[in-house]
Homo-oligomer: A and B are copies of this chain.
């Protein structure tokens, strides 16, 4: 930081000195006295996974409500929201039935969220491999009656794993809708990860109105490689798919909200949190138990350090980010109908890994203000303040002019766990989780102290 060191004497005011001291006390408090890691353990081990509409989701609502009451926040309440109610069903089968080399081969697979099932008759069909959606047009005449196998890998050379994910995930989210019109009977998708292993990654798909819904499953990357290899030798490979996934009618659920009411500007809100729902495998530890527990921890730190916020702070557990984002929309709609003004919202939904910075979406002035605070975070290892981003659950607040911010943790390990049975409590490191929470609390402190530009 030579450039910074040279100009520092002119920049660091007495006020900034006191900010430094306050931020140090926030980090110290979290690293010394937090029970965030234990809270996450309870959410993962006692509640478990919690897809919208599940009993786990209901238990998570009650657990976080009680937790915030125990922390004695000023107000703790539920916000009703209707959510989709998708069920995986009791049995999932995906197998190659006629490999000349290997006979019948069971594949590691999970139905994609929101997909329909095959029912008990199953689907037996020839397989056709595409490397991505871009190949559909060229080969549209070959798809009828087939199971389409999307095998475009995440690019391992992209340092930003979320960029690699973004470039590949359309196969999962719209592969079914884009091939059904050409007569595809089902699709299977290479799991969204750079890891090479036996773990299938689920995740949501979207069907399109007036396009036939067809079943869709994800397979592990090792099985995707095996299938691709076998197809090179034997073009008439057949796959049998059977599962009982189904979308039930919408059901009642809730966002969970805890609040510390502002002493000076109670009508200016800062929301911070993550999404409470998770996929129905694993424990939703990184995605997004971590973000929820960090949101609660931010308010706990204010209580514990006896910081009376000037503005109203809310820890929000949004419901249903994974397969509908109904919680985020309901929160913003209700906020708007109440004429609330959220000056800022921070979402943590990239895992409980060591924090590297914040992404943001807002006005030039807002982004400049965030950038000026960077110097206060560099001693804690946060250097990355320039990227655009926010979070799926806070995006609907942008209509209020809310400054949208995402915690940006290191992303290298995220897609080992994302949407799998491996996303469990043990995959989260206590110090990394705590440092993320302390970073969020520090930024909330600064925004509460100085407000946010327009």
Q: What residues make up the interface of A, taking CB atoms closer than 8 Å to B? A: 1-4, 7, 27-28, 31-32, 156-157, 159, 161, 194-195, 354, 356, 371, 379-381, 383-384, 386, 410, 412-413, 416, 429-432, 435
- Pick from A194, A356, A383, A431 the residue with the most CB of B within 10 Å: A431
The chain B residue sitting closest to A158, CB to CB, is: B31
User: Given the complex, which residues of B lie within 8 Å of A3, measured CB to CB?
Assistant: 3-4, 7
User: Given the complex, which residues of B lie within 8 Å of A410, measured CB to CB?
Assistant: 354, 381, 410
User: What are 13 A-B contacts defined by CB distance under 8 Å?
Assistant: A1-B386, A2-B371, A3-B7, A27-B157, A27-B159, A32-B156, A194-B431, A195-B430, A354-B354, A354-B412, A383-B383, A412-B429, A413-B432
User: Given the complex, which residues of B lie within 8 Å of A432, measured CB to CB?
Assistant: 412-413
Pair A380/B2 contact, Cβ less than 8 Å: no
Q: How far is the CA of A186 from the CA of B422 in the complex (A)?
A: 43
Pair A413/B429 contact, Cβ less than 8 Å: yes
User: Given the complex, which residues of B lie within 8 Å of A27, measured CB to CB?
Assistant: 157, 159
- Expressed in whole angstroms, the minimum distance between the Cβ of A225 and any Cβ of chain B is 15
- Expressed in whole angstroms, the minimum distance between the Cβ of A438 and any Cβ of chain B is 10
User: Given the complex, which residues of B lie within 8 Å of A159, measured CB to CB?
Assistant: 27, 379-381, 435
Q: How far is the CA of A28 from the CA of B431 in the complex (A)?
A: 30
- Expressed in whole angstroms, the minimum distance between the Cβ of A164 and any Cβ of chain B is 10
User: Given the complex, which residues of B lie within 8 Å of A194, measured CB to CB?
Assistant: 431
Select one of B2, B28, B195 contacting A157, CB under 8 A: B28
Q: How far is the CA of A387 from the CA of B96 in the complex (A)?
A: 55
Select one of B386, B413, B416, B431 contacting A412, CB under 8 A: B431
Q: How far is the CA of A171 from the CA of B4 in the complex (A)?
A: 38
7 new A-B contacts at CB < 8 Å, known A159-B379, A194-B431: A3-B3, A159-B435, A195-B430, A381-B384, A381-B410, A383-B383, A413-B429
User: Given the complex, which residues of B lie within 8 Å of A156, measured CB to CB?
Assistant: 31-32, 431
The chain B residue sitting closest to A4, CB to CB, is: B3
User: Given the complex, which residues of B lie within 8 Å of A356, measured CB to CB?
Assistant: 381
- Expressed in whole angstroms, the minimum distance between the Cβ of A374 and any Cβ of chain B is 9
- Expressed in whole angstroms, the minimum distance between the Cβ of A216 and any Cβ of chain B is 27
- Pick from A28, A159, A412, A429 the residue with the most CB of B within 10 Å: A412
- Expressed in whole angstroms, the minimum distance between the Cβ of A222 and any Cβ of chain B is 14
- Expressed in whole angstroms, the minimum distance between the Cβ of A8 and any Cβ of chain B is 11
The chain B residue sitting closest to A434, CB to CB, is: B156
Known contacts: A3-B4, A157-B31. The answer to whether A413 contacts B386 by CB under 8 A is no
- Expressed in whole angstroms, the minimum distance between the Cβ of A235 and any Cβ of chain B is 28
The chain B residue sitting closest to A382, CB to CB, is: B383
Q: How far is the CA of A157 from the CA of B27 in the complex (A)?
A: 7
